[in-house]
Amino acid sequence: MTTGRLAPPGRSGRPTIKDVAAAAGVSRSTVSRVLTGRGYAAGPVRERVLRAAAELGYVPDVAARMLKQQVSRSVGVLVSDLRNPFYAELAAGAGNEARARGYTMVLTDTGLSAGTEGEAAEALVALRVAGVIVTPNSPAVSGYLSSHGVPVVEVDRQFAAGTTDGVVVGNRVGARTATAHLTGLGHRRIALVIDETEWTTGYERHQGYLEALHAADLKADPDLVIAAGWDVADARRRAADLLRGPDRPTAVFAANNVLAEGVWRAVGELGLRVPADVSLVAFDDAPWMSMVSPTLSAVAQDAYNLGVAAVRRLDARIELPDADSVTTVLGVRLVTRESTAPPPPL
């Protein structure tokens, strides 16, 4: 029976556990036990509580629960650029897997700035997220988060291998395969258009490229490794310069989908034919590559699954915070289409 409380019945806002308790004629403890499924609750009581909760539209307050339990069921996801289909797919995979596991996803687009990345990480710490998935722009994030006791999974790029978990693709083997595909067709002057070659994915892809050249007994020409910027316009300019040159390469390997778009536009702009004049292969198979004419050969990486795998890893890490760190490597697959062919005769 409800006690003769003075408290206004509906109050202004949402029903609380107290309201449910009153409606069901039980105590808050009992409601909690029924709703969380921890502890006893007799059949009829359980039913009354559930009905009352449903009727009132009761939804437990996350803040209160979080305060009590000191941890939330949210995961932070930090990606570099949602407008890039690669990161969008990744976020979609992470989001869906997170939801399936009962987490809500807090998403931040960090751009390529280590600054925004840092701020976003602070915000996530304040939110007491259960863990964070990040495509890191700098080595700092993972350290910062770890030092605050927040489990981290680095995805796509990995700065802190050995210290934090990672989920990456076979960058080296992918780049090697793509380049070997070109050498196999007879190309000897193969350019690599890439953003940077010092860290993680950039480093690995560059190495894979070099390995394939070496395996084909070709010597690597540093002038054929083009450091393009991070956007299409920049890549386009650099690629145009490269292809306009006197001794232009017969094939170009673009290290990601953005650079590939730049190269592709430059090629069109210069009136070169693909693959008759120049072969083109990309790392990261974006949707447009199978739609344009000619279609582009590319190393396909499953970004969606990258996101899914990252959440799985994070969830495992949250369960066992002290286990050894694990790096998962997902396979890649060269999809040969129309943009690669033997080089033009001399």
Partner DNA sequence: CATCCGTGTGGGAACGATGTCATAACCCCT
Partner DNA sequence: AGGGGTTATGACATCGTTCCCACACGGATG
Chain contacts with DNA (rule: CB under 7 A)? 13-14, 16-18, 25-30, 32-33, 35-36, 38-42, 44-46, 58, 60-61, 63-65, 67-70
The option from DNA, its own copies, none interacting with 331 (CB < 5 to 8 A, set by class) reads none
CB of 303 to its own copies, least distance (A): 9
List, in order, residues 6 or more apart from 283 with CB less than 8 Å away.
Answer: 171, 174, 175, 178, 205, 253, 254, 255, 256, 257, 260, 298, 299, 301
CB of 214 to its own copies, least distance (A): 34
List, in order, residues 6 or more apart from 2 with CB less than 8 Å away.
Answer: 22, 25
The option from its own copies, DNA, none interacting with 120 (CB < 5 to 8 A, set by class) reads its own copies
CB of 309 to its own copies, least distance (A): 17
CB of 49 to DNA, least distance (A): 9
The option from DNA, its own copies, none interacting with 273 (CB < 5 to 8 A, set by class) reads none
Nearer CB in complex with its own copies: 3/147: 147
Sequential DSSP letters for 242-303 = HHHSTT--SEEEESSHHHHHHHHHHHHHTT--TTTT-EEEEES--GGGGTSSSPPEEEE--H
CA–CA distance, 238 with 320 (Å, rounded to integer): 47
The option from its own copies, DNA, none interacting with 27 (CB < 5 to 8 A, set by class) reads DNA
CB of 210 to DNA, least distance (A): 50
CB of 99 to its own copies, least distance (A): 7
CA of 93: how far to CAs of 164, 211, 307, in Å?
Answer: 21, 32, 5
CA–CA distance, 307 with 163 (Å, rounded to integer): 20
Nearer CB in complex with DNA: 17/266: 17
Nearer CB in complex with its own copies: 203/288: 288
- Residue 243 contacts residue 270 (beta carbons within 8 Å): yes
- Residue 188 contacts residue 220 (beta carbons within 8 Å): no
104-109 vs 74-79, strand pairing mode = parallel
The option from DNA, its own copies, none interacting with 264 (CB < 5 to 8 A, set by class) reads its own copies
DSSP letter at 222 equals G
Closest CA to 340 of 272, 283, 296, 279: 279
Residues that bind its own copies (CB under 8 A): 13-14, 57, 59-64, 66-67, 70, 72, 74, 81-83, 85, 88-89, 91-92, 95-96, 99, 104-109, 116, 120, 122-123, 125-128, 147-149, 261, 264, 287-288, 291-293, 304
Nearer CB in complex with DNA: 61/241: 61
